[in-house]
Amino acid sequence: MNNDLIPPLLSEALAARGYAALTPVQNAVLAEEAGGRDLVVSAQTGSGKTVAFGLGMAAQLFADDTLPPPGKPLALIVAPTRELALQVSRELGWLYANARARIATCVGGMDASKERRQLSYGAHIVVGTPGRLRDHLERGALELSELRVAVLDEADEMLDMGFREDLEHILDATPDGRRTLLFSATMPRPIEALAKRYQTDALRISTVGQDRGHGDIAYQAVTVSPSDIEHVAINLLRLHEAETAILFCATRDNVRHLHASLIERGFQAVALSGEHSQNERNAALQALRDKRARVCVATDVAARGIDLPSLSLVVHVELPRDAETLQHRSGRTGRAGKKGTAVLIVPYPRRRRMEALLRGARINAEWVEAPTPEDIRARDRERMLEALLAPVEVDEEDRELAARLLAERSPEDIAAALVRAHRAALPVPEELIEGTPEARRAAQAERHRPGFEDTVWFRMNVGRRQNADPRWILPLICRRGHVTKAEIGAIRIAAGETWFQVPSAIAAKFAAAVQRTADPNGDDESGVRIEQAEGAPEPGTRGDHGGPRRNGPNAGPPRRGNHPPRAGKPHRKGPRPR
């Protein structure tokens, strides 16, 4: 630890906290070239950056290893959310405790009059959210004329959340000679513009490659049918049985839906989204800290600043929009040297896009199979044996009750009842469909439908570009060919055409019926051309047969284009499949 550059009172606090060595970002802000300069620091969430800027600004606050009497604030820390601001305040509280620093916290959802009184008593450090700090500034309760250091924590998130105007208003009220430290996990262009306007000769520091980065997070990706997203999320929770887990959705509606589904299935879950009041947020977070709840369903913005030491599982129920969102979400776990797991639930049509995003983020994710009920039951048995065979302390009353049970039932019956009671408290795993093309091909190779050993391929002139979908293709084939659903084999959908199998025994009858029902001038699906094909479709053509209705948090509303195209006009409604 670089004790020479740390005031003795802060060194004592670090030692008492168990710090044997500083993290890379903490060492970087204390390096000789960083002394007294404006800094732009790119560091991952959970890398120790709060202590880093707490140490980095100490030189501007201390004089002769002591702090001056509290008055107008000397340091200002701005954070995007109430939770993060309170977390920062707590961290600085123990770090500056020996120095008797007075820290004022100003955040939304708290009593503003109490905050104004606290500011009037004087403070060395003020920590707050942009909106509340601006409010105090405009009311004259916050005076920044003597400010020596301004810190913007998670600056990229503050800009994403629309706080740019508030930040500029606050920084414009600070003295020109102040030192500005800008911390951000990512460095998009708006951050660079902010740094250029409010900093002078800033030193760029990036410890993303040296920090924890992704080292303490095991990334996994699971390909699923779009209709199975919610079921896979439930099975992931059951497989891991994490002490605390967070599931990310894109919208408040999807948070509400998934949270209700988890509660219905017996999970102890809370929800965080923009529709929840501050009191509801506080209650949800407290339930997670008290272990009364083990699962949190949240949107990206609502989860900013959440710090739960017991959080070991992050599930991306809806995929992140970019690499920065992926890192911020996943960074909720794997903190302070603890291991965490981040799982991406990837609808199979979006696998390539997700692979590209992972490459861009330099994350090596392991592609794994979705957990089945059999996998979960096997893991349950291991956990159950471990829990029931663990040594426990018992008193005389426990022994008396045990003796009475043994007098009434055999040891095997008692053990079986104990196992049953243990299992009854666990939510039931979900059965999954074989949703991926790989799974479908494997299943098809393993089993052969009776009557489909000898088949003929037919071809129709609509495909993915016309939003071909088994939900309307299969009924169309049955109507045109005068056959039943059971008489149609595999369906393969290509870009501009669709292939399907018909048993050889009825192929001639089917072809004749298709010809009779053909109407090139028709104004409905009868205008779709169906003809017998020579050979089979190219390998890799997308396979499907009677796929289920799309639902779940990642699916969104059914596509408007999932119905037959009009004759002679390629159907272009709705988004084009990828």
3-state secondary structure 222-243: EEECHHHHHHHHHHHHHHHCCC
For domain 3-206, the CATH class is: alpha beta
CB of 464 within 8 A of CB of 495? yes
Instruction: Write out the two tokens for 233.
Output: 């999320």
CB atoms < 10 A from the CB of 373, how many? Answer: 15
CB of 220 within 8 A of CB of 365? yes
Residue 98's closest CA among 66, 70, 55, 126? 66
561-578 burial, b at 16+ Cβ within 10 Å, e below that, comes to: bbbbbebeeebeeeeebe
The third-level CATH classification (topology) of the domain covering 448-544 is: Alpha-Beta Plaits (3.30.70)
Q: Coil, helix or strand for 533?
A: coil
Q: Coil, helix or strand for 362?
A: coil
**CA 283/CA 277 separation, integer angstroms:** 10
**Which residues is 315 bridged to in the sheet?**
247, 343
Task: Write out the H or E segment, with its range, that includes residue 347.
Answer: strand 340-347
**Which residues is 296 bridged to in the sheet?**
246, 270
**CA 156/CA 191 separation, integer angstroms:** 6
**CA 272/CA 21 separation, integer angstroms:** 36
CB of 2 within 8 A of CB of 30? yes
| Phi, then psi, of 186 in degrees rounded to 5 | -130, 165
- Residue 5's Cβ-side half-sphere holds a number of Cα atoms within 13 Å equal to 19
Instruction: Write out the two tokens for 487.
Output: 């008489």
Q: How far is CA 17 from the centre of its chain?
A: 31
CA dihedral defined by 551, 556, 557, 561, rounded to 10 degrees? -100
CB of 103 within 8 A of CB of 89? yes
Residues 6+ apart with CB under 8 A from 44: 185, 207, 208, 211, 212, 213, 327, 331
CB atoms < 10 A from the CB of 6, how many? Answer: 19
CB of 201 within 8 A of CB of 323? no
Q: What is the CATH number of domain 217-372?
A: 3.40.50.300
Q: Where are the domains of the chain?
A: 3-206, 217-372, 448-544
Instruction: Write out the two tokens for 294.
Output: 């083990």
For the chain, 578 residues long, give each residue's pLDDT as a single digit of tens.
555 778 999 999 999 988 888 888 899 999 989 989 999 998 766 678 899 999 999 999 998 889 999 999 999 999 988 888 988 999 999 999 999 999 999 998 788 999 999 999 999 999 999 999 999 999 999 999 999 999 999 888 788 778 899 999 999 999 999 999 999 877 778 888 888 999 998 999 987 654 444 457 899 999 988 888 999 999 999 999 999 999 999 999 999 999 999 998 899 999 998 888 878 888 898 899 888 999 999 998 777 767 787 889 999 999 998 887 888 888 888 765 678 999 999 988 888 889 999 988 888 999 999 999 999 999 999 998 888 888 888 888 988 999 999 999 999 999 998 888 888 888 888 888 654 454 454 444 444 556 677 889 999 988 888 878 887 888 889 988 888 888 898 888 888 899 999 999 899 999 999 888 887 665 445 568 899 988 777 765 555 443 333 344 444 333 434 444 444 444 444 444 43
| Phi, then psi, of 414 in degrees rounded to 5 | -65, -45
Classify residue 143 by burial, with Cβ atoms within 10 Å: 0-12, 13-18, 19+.
Answer: middle
Q: Please tell me the predicted confidence (pLDDT) of residue 120.
A: 95
Q: In what order do the strands lie in the sheet with 542-544?
A: 530-532, 455-460, 498-503, 491-493, 542-544
Residue 462's closest CA among 474, 473, 454? 473
- Residue 133's Cβ-side half-sphere holds a number of Cα atoms within 13 Å equal to 32
Q: 554: left (phi > 0), else alpha (psi -120 to 50), else beta?
A: alpha
Classify residue 148 by burial, with Cβ atoms within 10 Å: 0-12, 13-18, 19+.
Answer: middle
Q: Do domains 217-372 and 448-544 have the same CATH topology?
A: no
Q: Please tell me the predicted confidence (pLDDT) of residue 443.
A: 44
Q: Please tell me the predicted confidence (pLDDT) of residue 550.
A: 37
Residue 62's closest CA among 148, 121, 171? 148
**Cα 160-115-11 angle, rounded to 5 deg:** 80
3-state secondary structure 406-436: HHHCCHHHHHHHHHHHHHHCCCCCCCCCCCC
Q: Please tell me the predicted confidence (pLDDT) of residue 203.
A: 93
Residue 528 is which amino acid?
V
Q: Coil, helix or strand for 396?
A: helix
